[in-house]
Amino acid sequence: MRVILTVEIGEQRLLKTELERLEVVQTLGDHTRCSLEFIRDRGTDLTLEQVLGQALTVSLEDDDGGVVVFEGDVTRASQSHLLNYGSRFVVEGASRSHRLSEHRGLRYFNNRTFAEIVAELGATLVGEPPDGSPLNYVQLGESEFDFLVRLADDHGFHVRNGRGGLEVCAGFAEEEIELVWGRDLLEVHAEVRPVNPGTKGAFYQADEKKDHRFHGVRRPPEWLGGGEALTRLTRDLAARVAGGGDPLVVETASRTPTLADYRTRLEQESERAQGTAVRVRGQSTQIRLCAGARVHLRGSRAFRLPTEGVFGLVEVIHRFDGQQYTNTFVATPWARFTGFHKPDRRPAAGVVTAVVVANDDPAGQGRIRVRYGWQDEPQHTGWVRVASLHAGNGRGVHWIPEIGDEVLVAFEQADPERPVVIGSLWNGKDAVPQVDAANDVKTIATRSGNTIRLVDTADEERIEIWTAGGLCLLRLANDADGVPTVTVHSEGDLALEAAGEIRMVCA
């Protein structure tokens, strides 16, 4: 089949005779990448300034029309000068989505839905957004692209480069591209591995103060129909793999606010395990193959393919070797493909400081909102639980940090979306209640000045309690002369009340 290849770098259009090699790699969950080599003679030679940073477009055309297989930027280029000739250029490019990977960021998406964040990151949501209440999402040191891929995977979507930009998709495109054995399908290779998709995990629900343990969670994948014998084989072998039981474990309950959400997360990982157990690789000459599309593999009269049927294209590599065009592809029968592996969650290293911005927890659980140092006003977190001494049912030290206080925040399982306040900190502006070089004085003080002071100075041990401004005071003292003294003082009235008698006895 005749294929016309067109490559444009900025305003320069390369001739087919100048191209020595070209490769375009389209992969779900990654940037589309292009690499090529070409030669220019001295009469048409270029400089690196005319190449680097320019727009790069690759188009293919056959008898049925044309298609753009790459649009992006030149991200790297090298030039070799040839004796008595011109130059050889090696050029690398990436789709414009690569700009989302240039910088790592720190962002807190407070009370947002999945669809709202996808739109805010400049991507298009393709498919019905999942149900669910707005949640708090943290981008901690990830690039916007990596964060988007992880976010999409959590919700059962994948990310692909479409003609209009980044798309976050639930499943593959509806339109099918037909590949027929011997016509445009040149090679097919099937990979199958038996897998036990049994999944287990544990979830703590703070509202109920209850641990929930799950075992034997399984959710069969929805199949597109291709390679039916192979998908049936993985299902039949599942119970015999790994000695039965539940070999898969979900270790963290990240971003699963309810028990039902956590069970859904377990089901997603079970579905991923079985859904990725079958994959098909092939080679063709069909220029319209692209990652995210559906492909229908068909045999011929002379040969019936064991892998006939519909698959989703996970990766497509378009190649030109200087003489002819071919492509290779990786396909899956899993209809709701998200990724072969769950994207890594970037852990929060250690603890961080923050400032309290609200402490009026509407649920009455003693939680607070804080603002991290990398958040601008008026940004803040969601409601964060506070660790307290001997916290229990109606008991413990009830001491909620004040607005403006500096607090220390840790993260459950190093998950930045699961913070816990573990203490408060003094600093250069928020001073300790009393400076005591001998460390004899222990003080508990409120913001208005209500104070409990315990003094351990030798022969002057005492406990003092006074109200704001010292208007009322109670002192229990071991005086230096050995006579213990109890002092009750009021700047106003002194009232003694009892339901029974009041007795005063002295020796």
- 275 and 234 in contact (C-beta within 8 Å)? no
Higher pLDDT, 262 or 356: 356
What is the SS3 assignment for 356?
A: strand
Instruction: Tell me the pTM.
Output: 0.90
Residue 245 has pLDDT above 80, yes or no: no
- pLDDT at 128 (0 to 100): 87
Task: Answer whether residue 262 shows pLDDT above 70.
Answer: yes
Read off the pLDDT band of 208 (50, 70, 90). Answer: confident
- Count of Cβ atoms closer than 10 Å to residue 39 Cβ: 19
233, 192 Cβ separation under 8 angstroms: yes
What tens digit of pLDDT does each residue of 427-483 get? 999 999 988 899 999 999 999 999 999 999 988 899 999 999 999 999 999 877 778
Query: Which of 245, 153, 252 lies closest to 197 in space, CA to CA?
Result: 245
Report how far residue 369's alpha carbon sits from residue 56's, in angstroms, rounded to the nearest whole number: 47
* Percentage of residues in the chain having pLDDT higher than 90: 77
Is residue 67 pLDDT above 80, yes or no?
yes
pLDDT the model gives residue 242: 59
Per-residue pLDDT, 352: 97
- Mean pLDDT along residues 114-140: 91
pLDDT at 451: 97
Q: Mind listing the pLDDT tens digit for each residue in 280-325?
A: 999 999 999 999 999 999 998 888 888 999 999 999 999 999 899 9
pLDDT at 123: 96
More confident residue, 301 or 358: 358
Q: What mean pLDDT is predicted for residues 115-141?
A: 91
Answer yes or no: is pLDDT of 256 > 90.
Answer: no
- Sequence-separated (6 or more) residues with CB below 8 Å from residue 165: 96, 97, 122, 123, 124
Residue type at 452 in one-letter notation:
I
- pLDDT band, residue 17 (cuts 50/70/90): confident
Q: Taking residues 231-253, what's their average pLDDT?
A: 80
Q: Is the dihedral of CA 423, 429, 435, 438 positive or negative?
A: positive
Strands (E), 11-86: 12-14, 19-27, 33-40, 55-62, 65-81
Model pLDDT, residue 243: 65
- Residue 367 pLDDT more than 80? yes
Residue 79 in contact with residue 88, Cβ under 8 Å?
A: yes
